[in-house]
Amino acid sequence: MTAYLDTAQGRRIAYVKTDGAEGYTGPTILFLSGLKSDMEGTKAVALEAWAKEQGRAFLRFDYSGHGVSSGEFRDGCIGDWHEDTLEVVDKLIDGPVLAVGSSMGGWQSLLLARARPNRVMGLVTIAAAPDFTEDGYWAGFSDDQKAELEREGFLSIPSDYDEDYIITKRLIEDGRENFVLRSPLKLDMPVRFLQGTEDEAVPTAQAVKLLEHAEGEDIRLTLVKGADHRFSDDECLRTIQKMVKVVLSRAAS
């Protein structure tokens, strides 16, 4: 059942929380969705069903401006959604967290691990897109688009997945305040990055860049040949489950 959290920033965040089986003391698996995605996405719902079968605690939620949470997408930015994530972790979850982040949610999971290193016991990312506001959007804008963004405060960008994205000047500028690839990124926990080789939104080279940049003793990148950015067919879903199990076992050892 969907519940709501009123945050310190005045936002209303929708979430679904599943408690672990009686006596469960392990981490809560926290799913972090991608840009303009929500907690009803295929990966979030499938992983929740798997967690229930395993008797594990699980939480999925909608960032502000996404799904059924308050706000408009165009008014949000990376920092706002990071605040939402911290509120969810600090107010709704007791104990350790295993963060599973998809696309922009991968960036959010890295920000979470940096902000709450004592809470995050492991990470699994799926087509992680850290710093994409700069390396994807800004780097790909023409001079005319950059001028329009400066003049109008926003751009409309076609999307392969949904209605056009409204990319605001605030989103770009705030992204620069939340970079994780331009300063040291220590991940002192088990980390598994997943990436499809046919991903047209996040190139494989970006996944390799993240792997090379992150500092930690237990970090692995798995490339899945033929998988695209959605990473949500049956085989990909089983791969996500497998990596969650790997991280759980590594953290427990």
Nearest to 88 by CA among 127, 48, 115, 125: 115
CB 112 within 8 A of CB 130: no
- Which are the contacts of 212, defined by CB distance < 8 A and separation ≥ 6? none
Q: Which of 69, 84, 229, 232 is catalytic?
A: 229
Work out the mean pLDDT of the chain and round it to a whole number.
Answer: 96
* pLDDT tens digits, 73-112: 999 999 999 999 999 999 999 999 999 999 999 999 999 9
Query: Could you confirm whether 103 is annotated as catalytic?
Result: yes
Q: Which of 62, 131, 135, 199 is catalytic?
A: 199
pLDDT at position 159, please? 75
At 189 the three-state DSSP class reads coil
Q: Which of 37, 64, 103, 232 is catalytic?
A: 103
Query: Could you confirm whether 142 is annotated as catalytic?
Result: no
Q: Which amino acid is at 25?
A: T
Nearest to 105 by CA among 63, 149, 68: 63
Instruction: Give the C-alpha separation, 4 to 137, whole Å.
Output: 32
* pLDDT tens digits, 30-77: 999 999 999 999 999 999 999 999 999 999 999 999 999 999 999 999
Mean of the pLDDT values across residues 231-252? 95
Tell me the domains of the chain and their CATH numbers.
26-131+179-252 (3.40.50.1820)
pLDDT at position 162, please? 67
Instruction: Give the C-alpha separation, 20 to 217, whole Å.
Output: 29
Nearest to 97 by CA among 79, 115, 80: 115
pLDDT at position 161, please? 65
Supply the pTM of this predicted model. 0.96
CB 50 within 8 A of CB 241: yes
The two three-digit tokens of residue 182, written as one number: 């331009």
Query: Could you confirm whether 229 is annotated as catalytic?
Result: yes
